[in-house]
Structure 1
Amino acid sequence: MLYVIIIAALVIFWLVAVDRPVLKVVFKQGHIEKIKGHFPNKFQHNVQEIGERNPFDGEMKVYQLRTGPKLVFSKQVPKKVQQRIRNVFPHQGFSSKSGKKAG
């Protein structure tokens, strides 16, 4: 019986503590170093262009929440660059997979 409680505790810890973004992008000198997840082509092109004009290091993560996608940037990414990326972010490209229809 104790092993069931331990396994349940490990599963709950994994669900809460493990970082699970839909998209993770690592930048080095404004260039995309590593991509993990679905990165829509148009958004990727826009982000590359922003990086070429304003070189920066850091990472960007996109989380899928019930209310929609959420962008999270590392502290190294300048606020101006963060805002430019938010402006070109395709909210439709990261729509919720719940199957609900609006209206």
Structure 2
Amino acid sequence: MEYFLAGSFIALFVFIAIDRPIILISFKNGSLVKTKGKIPQGFLHDCTEINKRNPINGTVKVYRNRFKPAKLVFSKGIDTKVQQRIRNIFPHKSFK
């Protein structure tokens, strides 16, 4: 019985602690480094164009939410003006 409880606590902790975004885009010194997930082509193209004009270092993560279509999370290396430009081009209708 103790093993079952210990295993379930570990499984619950791992389930909560793991970062699981549906989309991950990483930029470094003005170039696209890493992508993960099913990213709409127009959004990826627009993000690379923004990155060419204002080189950024950081990541953009998109999380699925129950009550809102999607939640955008930016790393601290991305300027607030660039964050707003990315929010403006994000296709919210694709993630309902």
Tell me the TM-score range normalised by the shorter chain: over 0.9
- Report deviation, 1:55: 0.7
Q: Match of 1:55, SS? A: coil
Counterpart CA distance in 1 for 2:48 and 2:38 is: 15
1:74 is matched with: 75
The TM-score with structure 2 as length reference comes to 0.94
Structure 1 stretches (4+) deviating beyond 4 angstroms?
none
Distance 2:22 2:32 in 1: 17
- The separation in 2 between residues aligned to 1:70 and 1:84, in whole angstroms, is 15
How far off is 1:32 after superposition? 1.2
Unaligned runs of 5+ in 1: 96-103
Q: Which residue of 1 aligns with 2:10?
A: 10
Cα RMSD for the two superposed structures:
0.8
2:32 aligned partner, one-letter code: I
Counterpart of 1:83 in structure 2 is: 84
Deviation (angstroms), 1:50: 0.5
Q: How many aligned positions are there?
A: 95
The one-letter code sitting in structure 1 at the alignment partner of 2:11 is: V
Deviation at 1:30, TM superposition (A): 2.3
Matches within 5 A, 1:19-98: 19-67=19-67, 68-95=69-96
Matched letter for residue 95 of structure 2: F
Q: Distance in 2 between matches of 1:94 and 1:49?
A: 22
CA distance in 1, matches of 2:31, 2:49: 9
* Cα distance in structure 1, aligned partners of 2:47 and 2:53: 10
